[in-house]
Amino acid sequence: MIFKRKSIKLVLGCDYTIWYNPLKKMNCRLIQPTEKGYNFLNLDTNKCVLKYHLYKSKCSEHTENDKTVFWVNENLKISTIYRKEELLDAPKVLRTHYYCMNPADYDIECPLCGQHTMSWSEYEGHIWCYHCQKDILLTWKNSGVFSGPIPIGTAGLLGMSFDRVDMDENIIKFNPLGENSKKYNESWVKDKKLNEYEKELNEKYSN
Ligand SMILES: [Zn+2]
């Protein structure tokens, strides 16, 4: 079987959540068990996850500018594990809209405690967790259906609606199928400042 591969920046010793199947996420650390081979150590079982080691990319573009690029199976999802403070201290911008349905209905989970008892935070890109009693930044791996391309039709069959309350106008905007759905997806979660923050974190972890 031929696996397609994708290049990704990883940092030795940093922690990542990785998964092939969203129901089987593993918290791992990038380690270097052999002179040139890298692998993910499952922090719960203390075993290496990948059957074959990862090796640094030898692609000339990668080796010249950046020595931490690896080629991995493109089906493997990898998400940086942020520190608690980074999730709590993210820039906060007041929300202008929220989805009518609860975040838990979209499979979103609290990035800190993993529970589903939450509501939309008053801040963009955040949820309010009743368990943690805090506004917490959503990361990609905790974003449920929003962490992948959203098949709106399929989501509809599962009973999900993307109708939103516009807080300025105080009206419900019904999810338009088709051309506007793209706009909805893009404007969800991330406002510009948060994007910059995420970029900053990514840069920090990849140096
Ligand atoms: Zn929580």
Instruction: Report pLDDT digits (tens) over 152-202.
Output: 667 777 778 787 888 887 777 766 554 444 444 444 434 445 566 666 766
Q: Write out the two tokens for 205.
A: 């972890």
E strands within 32-117?
Answer: 39-42, 69-73, 77-80, 97-99
Query: From ligand 1's centre to the CA of 139, what distance in Å?
Result: 13
At 12-53, the pLDDT tens digits run 888 999 998 878 889 999 999 999 999 999 999 999 999 999
User: Is residue 62 within 8 Å of 46, Cβ to Cβ?
Assistant: no
At 64-87, the pLDDT tens digits run 666 688 989 988 989 888 889 989
Query: From ligand 1's centre to the CA of 136, what distance in Å?
Result: 8
Closest residue by Cα to residue 118 from 154, 93, 144, 140: 144
Measured CA to CA in angstroms, residue 76 lies from 59, 68, 96, 162, 181 at distances of 20, 17, 34, 28, 27
Measured CA to CA in angstroms, residue 206 lies from 15, 84, 96 at distances of 12, 18, 33
Query: From ligand 1's centre to the CA of 164, what distance in Å?
Result: 23
Say how far apart CA 1 and CA 98 lie, in whole Å.
Answer: 44
Query: From ligand 1's centre to the CA of 170, what distance in Å?
Result: 28
DSSP 8-state code for residue 133: T
Query: From ligand 1's centre to the CA of 108, what distance in Å?
Result: 11
For residue 7, the model assigns a pLDDT of: 87
Query: From ligand 1's centre to the CA of 72, what distance in Å?
Result: 31
For residue 63, the model assigns a pLDDT of: 67
Query: From ligand 1's centre to the CA of 133, what distance in Å?
Result: 7
Query: From ligand 1's centre to the CA of 30, what distance in Å?
Result: 26
Query: From ligand 1's centre to the CA of 157, what distance in Å?
Result: 28
DSSP 8-state code for residue 174: P
pLDDT-derived band at 207 (thresholds 50, 70, 90) equals low
Query: From ligand 1's centre to the CA of 74, what distance in Å?
Result: 30
0.75 exceeded by the pTM? Answer: no
